[in-house]
Structure 1
Amino acid sequence: MNRVGVVCEDEAEAAEQNKDGRRSDGVMDLLRAALTLLSAAFIILTFPLTAWMCAKVVLEYERAVIFRLGCIVKGRPKGPGLFWFIPWLDNIQIVDLRTVSFNVQQQEVLTADGVSLQVDAVMFYRVVDPSLWVTRVQDGDEATHTLAQTTLRAALGVHTLTDVLAQRRHISERMREALYTTTRVWGVQVQRVELKDMRLPVSLQRCLSAEAEAVRTSRAKLIAAEGEVKASRALSDAASGLCPVAFHLRYLQSLSSVSSSSSIIVFTLPTELLQAFFSHQS
């Protein structure tokens, strides 16, 4: 019973606090409305003199977020073009909607296989909700830059060196998705992230160069061996299709080409004699 009584008392206190809060909010709303009406009346009465003070122009790529007595004015941000405001009640913050690009500072990243890399990147983003941009984050540009640096280290740290070198586009897309998930609550849209440069240690560069050279050498030898096999098969097919007379003519033609060199002496023997010699041995 005591626990039930305590719970009931707590609920009663919470309800009373909510009522007080609603009353105070209502009083503040009435005060803001009254000040706004008085200011509007004053502007109307002194319109020729105060017109230049209550007008502001923003450019096509800008939006104006207005805070009236500390509270953001309901509705969409003002702009582009001319709009009216109350200078002694309103505080205006201008937000640029153009795409911003910045270079992520070079980071030392340790890959999953223990290789140390020096990596830098470039990021493109733009503000899509000016109200969130000025109310959800204190310094949006600095926060976005810091988040990009930490995301770069986290994205590369789960991959091996081979994956980083072979899947740069996939890693960049994963970084963009991770940044967009975090920054969209700030009113920011991350459009693109690209890895610019990756620097390896000098010793590792030499190892990779030696490995690549060995792979190219083995591939060249394999291609040469395949060429020799194809050439020998072609010669075998050509020799099998020659008649004895044609074979003898081809033999004489080969001798004439060999004897053209002055340092080589060629003795020709009739093929019939060779055939008789081979048949005698068998």
Structure 2
Amino acid sequence: GCCGWILVLISFLFIIPTFPLSIFMCVKIVKEYERAVIFRLGRIKDRKPKGPGLFFVLPCTDTFVKVDLRTVSFDIPPQEILTKDSVTVSVDGVVYFRIQCPISAVANVSNAHSSTRLLAQTTLRNVLGTKNLAELLSDREGISLSMQESLDEATDPWGIKVERVEIKDVKLPQQLQRAMAAEAEASREARAKIIAAEGEMKASRALKEASLVIAESPSALQLRYLQTLNTIAAEKNSTIVFPLPIDVLQNFMQRK
């Protein structure tokens, strides 16, 4: 109103007599990655941020707040979470976000960075509380995407864009780790026994087929004896056991 215009006029009247000394109080600079939100008599000027570069403020009536637009990352402290299947785990993560609307980040929330950190911890608990242990260990990418969507939706009125959320580590209790290791070992042993049994079954079938072939041709058994003898001799053993065919012994017994 009129009082505001009078104060602005007084500021101009103060600047003119003290020029050029007043130029150091009126001209401000923000960097390429920064923006300045100017308040004139408590109201945001022009409803848009200033910068980068030079901008002009009036002493006594104008104040400004610098806002950093670069991407900021922070670690979510380890959180003790009770999963859907009643398992207590410790989970931590990392969040990347940036301010995309400086006006909202200054006017709608008292501390955008601190509020985002606290909200990330709460969101981590809420999202992981709906997952069981198997999903938590196997579907980290889906959990990270769900957290990012929840955080982005909640921080949108604050002018914050959540770019990425990652689950860093999932720590299980020692007793649960030992139980899972024992379960995995038992599962591997069971699979090994099944594979060995299948191998024995295939071997027995192969031996049965071989016996049928040898029964049809008795000379094949003699050839197999000679082949075994050749294998033993190739190993340079001092003692050679020569298998004598049973048919020869039967002929001698019949002659007696």
> What TM-score does the superposition give when structure 1 sets the normalisation length?
0.76
Separation in 1, partners of 2:240, 2:5: 115
State which of 78, 82, 85 in structure 2 corresponds to 1:110: 82
**72-81 or 150-159, larger mean C-alpha shift:** 72-81
Q: 1:160 to 1:263 in 2, by over 3 A?
A: farther
Take 1:79 and 1:237, find their aligned partners in 2: how far apart are those partners?
A: 89
The total of aligned residue pairs comes to 247
The structure-2 alpha-carbon separation of the partners of 1:83 and 1:241, relative to structure 1 and needing over 3 Å to count, comes to farther
Q: CA contact under 8 A between 1:64 and 1:78: conserved in structure 2?
A: yes
**CA displacement at 1:106 relative to structure 2:** 1.2
Amino acid in the other structure paired with 2:223? L
Counterpart CA distance in 1 for 2:126 and 2:73 is 21
Residues 89-142 of structure 1: per-residue CA shift (max 9 Å, x gap)? 111100111111111111110111111111111111111001000111111122
Tell me if structure 2 keeps the 8 A contact 1:127–1:133.
Answer: yes
Unaligned residue ranges in structure 1 (runs of 5+) = 1-27, 277-282
Tell me, yes or no, if the aligned pair for 1:248 and 1:271 is still in contact at 8 Å: no
**Distance (whole Å) between structure 1 residues aligned to residue 49 and residue 225 of structure 2:** 95
AA of the residue aligned to 2:31: L
1:160: Cα distance to partner?
A: 1.0
Retained in 2: the 8 A contact 1:101–1:124?
yes
Partners of 1:263 and 1:193 lie apart in 2 by 73
Task: Give the gaps of 5 or more residues in structure 2.
Answer: 252-256
The change in CA–CA distance for 1:173 and 1:248 in structure 2 (over 3 A counts) is same
Q: Deviations over 1:186-233 (max 9, x none)?
A: 000111111111111111111000011112222333344445555666
2:231 aligned residue = 257
1:32 aligns with 2:32: no
2:243 to 267, 274, 278: 267
Match of 1:87 among 49, 55, 59: 59
Identity %: 49
Name the residue aligned to 2:254.
none
**Residues 187 and 241 of structure 1: CA distance in aligned 2, closer, same or farther (over 3 Å):** farther
